[in-house]
Structures are given as structure tokens and as C-alpha cells.
Structure 1
């Protein structure tokens, strides 16, 4: 999923740096980058200090960064890397891909965020989006700060009826429509109708997005009490 970014990358990247402490992932990502763009040079680094040394000696245009490195963990590495390479496009590739981490990474200077073990096509779309001046986030991403202190999300959840709230809670537990129908002693077609209504009220396009909204808002605390 792409979003308009504040600043556009001025040129197509010709050099890249992959920062990850797993050699196999570095090799795989190097192959991926070579398959999606005509890079003249791709460097790799297993630590943040090694990455900073590369940037100091020979700056690059495009960086792929894992947030969990031997010498740094979380967003600190991203902040330091952004300071060292203010003009480079930075794509975070991390297994720490919850909504809040993605949101914080974008605020800290990342141009895009891709879950670490995404398919090659996802990396291609992310690269193309970033080069076009857009930020890139996973399809399932929902901005945890989309409403004022979450009030908009809470208001939407509060519009659910008791039955819809129960169904959403079961969806959050990973239950399928057939299982929900059995547990609530209702027809599966009724469950489907409720699921459609739930997604419409929450303004989402998939069950996954509905679950993410419910989890981010601590849904159990805002269940409606009346039909």
C-alpha cells in the first residue's frame, strides 16, 4: 500500500546498502534488488556501525534496514542511519511489523516498511513507490493514530450491536464463519451479513483490518452493552 510522502526522491537510486546480520537474507535481498533495478553497486553490512562506516566512506542512494541488529535494537538504528544518510531512501525490512512500529518507523525517517520475509513482488512495489516519492506500508497496515487519540476508532466500534461485537470478538480469536455460526447458534449466512456490516461500520475492506482495529483499540474494553 502506498501513501504520498512529504519529500520525493530526486533521482533513481544507483547504489544500495543492505543492513542485516543474517548473511543469507543479505544475499537474497541483494539478488532481489538486482532483479528490480539497475544498481551499479550494492553493499552489505551486518551491524549498524559497519553500515555507518560504509555511508561515511562511500554514500549510497537506497538503504534496506533491519531494526534488530547485534549492536542496536529498535528505532535507534534507524534514527542514526537517517542522520548519516539524509538524502538516501530508507526501506525498513523487519519482522517487528505491528502497526505502532510501522507508524513510529515512518516518523523516524523511513520512506517505507516491508515485513521482513515478504515476497519479491512486495519489495519491488515498495522500491517503485519510494522512488516515485511515496511511502510504502503493508496492505494490512492501519494507522494507530488515525483518529484523535483513537476516539474515531472507539466511536466506530461503539456503533456495533451486541451480536456484531460478539462476532468481531470471535473473528479476533481466529474463528471462521462456520465456527462462529455454530458457537452463536445462528445461520452462516447471518454471520456473513454481520461481518459485512462490521467491515462497513469500521471502514475496512478485510477481516484482517477489522482485527487490527479491534486489537489496537483494546476492543474488549469498549464492547457495546445494549442492542
Structure 2
């Protein structure tokens, strides 16, 4: 496969091992977050190619087949692993290759455990595009992230505050937020709810405003932080 700026490689060992340029591996299973991360990295670091693994086992398989990555961006919660166990297993295979953990689990004990397990840094999933780019840029330039700079604010991580915001959503908005959390895009939501896509967009705008979220990814992170399914309006 030919190299081009911001190239997204097929997730197989042959393509990754044959790649001659700098390469970043994203390990996450949420389509919305992955799409946003791929676009962010491609725009900010056009000389780097991107590979994606949706499970830890897929990431480990790429590494075992000889892929050499300049950076791994890893979620803690994947279909086949939960918590820092996945990070420990990755680090045992990649050695000194830096790993940034990007997760909706952002309590201080989690951050401390991630650093102890060998991650070079931690970035909450609800971080702004600028914060994520700055974190990746720091690591690619051989710097070390300061965990303090990437902790969520008290307001963003306070479950009671998030729940109170969710209570302001209408039942339809609650349903749409739940569908966004499963990775569905506006067109899919409109089809399944039998409403116009413009109506979905209006609801999404209202959801972001009520949730105090700066993006769909941020809204998903907030919803997941309080296990949104348990308070979904009837």
C-alpha cells in the first residue's frame, strides 16, 4: 500500500509491517470516537499513518506480526479486556514504545494506576481536540505528559452534576443520546426513529447544550461516566 499524508492503514500485520513512515495505532471500539480521533490525527500529524484495532487481541496480533509503532493510543475498556490489564499486556510487547491511555474512566486512582502500569500519559476522552493534539504532539516529540494538566475538572467528573444535566433531557433526547452512545450517526438515528435528519440535528444541538458538552464525544463520555442506561427516561 502506498504511503500518503494522514493515511489510514488496513488493520493487518502485512500493511503495518510494510509501512516505512511514522505510524500510530488507535485501540478503541467506539466508532464515533475512532472517527474523531482519526480525523484529528490526520489533520494535525499528516506525516503519520494510522492503524486501528477494535480489540486488544487485534492490537497484540499486529505487534506480534512485526508492526512497529511510534505511538499507541489505548482505551482501557475494550470488548475483550477491562482496566489496566490491557495496558500491561501491550507494554510487555512494545517495550519502550510510548502508550497514551485515552479513556472515559478518569478518576485519579485510574490515572495513577495507568501511569504505574507504564503509560506515558493519560488524556480523558472528553478532552478538547486541542488538548488531545497537544498531548500526542508532546509524546511524539519525546516529551512526557504531566497528568495534572489532563485531569478532568471537578464539574466534568462529578456524577451528581452529570445526572442533573441528564434529567433536563426530554425522553426523545434521552433516546437519541443513548443511540449516540452506541456509535450511531444522525442518518441512522433518523431512520430508526422515523424522523427527519434535521430534527435529529436539532435534538443533538439541544443535548450538547443541556449536557454542557463541547462535542458528541464529550457527551458520550459524560453519559458513560454515570452509566446512562440506568437513568434513561421511560
- How does the TM-score come out when normalised to structure 1? 0.54
Cα distance in 2 for residues equivalent to 1:81 and 1:134: 19
Q: Which of the numbers 83, 97, 103 marks the counterpart of 1:94?
A: 103
Residues 8-49 of structure 1: CA distance to partner in whole angstroms, max 9, x if unpaired? xxxxx8100000011221121111111222344211011000
On the 8 A contact 2:55/2:78 being kept in 1, the answer is: yes
Q: Which residue of 2 aligns with 1:61?
A: 70
**What is the aligned length?**
132
Partner SS state of residue 64, structure 1: strand
Cα distance in 2 for residues equivalent to 1:105 and 1:87: 15
Cα distance in 2 for residues equivalent to 1:115 and 1:25: 12
On the 8 A contact 1:14/1:38 being kept in 2, the answer is: no
Alpha-carbon distance change, 33 to 50 in structure 1, aligned in 2, over 3 angstroms = same
Residues 82-120 of structure 1: CA distance to partner in whole angstroms, max 9, x if unpaired? 111113111100011011110110110101100012111
Q: Does 1:137 align with 2:143?
A: no
Cα distance in 1 for residues equivalent to 2:98 and 2:47: 14
Q: Which of the numbers 91, 97, 113 marks the counterpart of 1:82?
A: 91
Partner SS state of residue 70, structure 1: coil
- How does the TM-score come out when normalised to structure 2? 0.52
On the 8 A contact 1:115/1:138 being kept in 2, the answer is: no
On the 8 A contact 2:122/2:150 being kept in 1, the answer is: no
Q: Which residue of 1 aligns with 2:82?
A: 73
Q: Which residue of 2 aligns with 1:38?
A: 46
Cα distance in 1 for residues equivalent to 2:62 and 2:127: 26
Cα distance in 1 for residues equivalent to 2:48 and 2:91: 22
Q: Which of the numbers 88, 105, 120 marks the counterpart of 2:129?
A: 120
Segments of structure 1 that go 5 or more residues without pairing to the other structure are 1-12, 143-172, 175-227
On the 8 A contact 2:74/2:100 being kept in 1, the answer is: yes
Segments of structure 2 that go 5 or more residues without pairing to the other structure are 1-20, 153-159, 162-234
Cα distance in 2 for residues equivalent to 1:136 and 1:55: 27
On the 8 A contact 2:124/2:151 being kept in 1, the answer is: no
Cα distance in 2 for residues equivalent to 1:83 and 1:101: 20
Residues 163-218 of structure 1: CA distance to partner in whole angstroms, max 9, x if unpaired? xxxxxxxxxx98xxxxxxxxxxxxxxxxxxxxxxxxxxxxxxxxxxxxxxxxxxxx
On the 8 A contact 1:62/1:88 being kept in 2, the answer is: yes
**RMSD (Å), alpha carbons:** 2.1
Q: Which residue of 2 aligns with 1:50?
A: 58
